[in-house]
Amino acid sequence: MRRRARPQAGFLLAGLIALAWLGAAACVNFRPAVQPPGLEVESLVVCRNAAFSGGLHVAEGAARTFGLDIPSLFALASLRDIDRGIALRFKWYAPDGVLARDSGPMPVDPGEKYLDKVTAFDRLDFAPGRIEPREGAWTVVLFLDETPADQTSFNIKK
Partner 1 sequence: MKPPTQRRQRPGRPARRPRPAPGAAKKFRGAAAFLLTALLTASAAPGAAGPSAGEASAKRAVLRVEAEYIAYSFDRHAFIARNASFDLPPYRVSCGTLRADLSARAFLALGGVVLTREGESLRADALSFDPAASGALLLDYGDSLEARSLTLGAGADAAAAAPPPPAKLRAAEAVSLAAVRGSLLYAVCRSLDITPAYDAFGRDVVLYVEGLESVGFRSLKLSAAEAALSRRPGLSLNSLWFSRDRGIRGRASYSVLDPGRADSLTRLEYEEHSVIKDFPGPARQADLTTDSSWTLRPDLGLGFRGNANTSGLLDARLWLDKSWAQKKLSTRWDLTLSRPVGQPVETWLGLKAAYDAGGAGRLAAAGRLGSAGQAVGDFSYAARLGGNLDFQASSLYTRVRRGADGARSSILDGRLRLSYTSRLFNLASDYHLNADLAEGRTLRSPQLRMESGPLPFYGGLLQAGLSNVFIHNTLGGKGSSSSSYSNNTAFRLSAAPVPLARGLLLDFSLALEQFLEKEGRNFTSGGAVVNLKRRWPAGVTLEGFYSLQSRRRTRGGLLEGTTSQDLSGVLRLQPSEGLNAWVAASYDPKNGRFKQSFADLTLAVIRGWRFHSLLQYDFVLNKLSNVDLYLIRDAGRFELRLMWRSLSRQFLVELLPK
Contacts to partner 1 from residues 129-148, by CB under 8 A:
137, 139, 141, 143-144, 147-148
How many residues form the binding site for partner 1 (CB under 8 A)? 74
Q: Are 102 and 116 within 8 A, CB to CB? A: no
Q: Are 93 and 105 within 8 A, CB to CB? A: no
* Binding test (CB under 8 A) with partner 1, winner from 113, 130, 157, 158: 113
Is residue 157 a contact point for partner 1 (CB under 8 A)? no
Distances (CA, A) of 80 to 84, 128, 145: 12, 37, 15
Which one, 32 or 67, has the nearer CB to partner 1? 32
Is residue 2 a contact point for partner 1 (CB under 8 A)? yes
Written as one letter, the residue type at 91 is: K
* Binding test (CB under 8 A) with partner 1, winner from 49, 63, 70, 106: 106
Q: Are 138 and 87 within 8 A, CB to CB? A: no
Q: How far is the CB of 71 from partner 1 (least distance, A)?
A: 15
Residue 118: enclosing H or E segment and its boundaries?
strand 115-125
Distances (CA, A) of 118 to 56, 86, 110: 7, 11, 10
Interacting positions 39-98 with partner 1 (CB under 8 A): 40-44, 52, 54-57, 64, 78, 80-83, 88, 91, 93, 97-98
Is residue 122 a contact point for partner 1 (CB under 8 A)? yes
Q: Which of 135, 156, 149, 127 is nearest to 63 (CA)?
A: 156
Which one, 10 or 135, has the nearer CB to partner 1? 10
Q: How far is the CB of 133 from partner 1 (least distance, A)?
A: 17
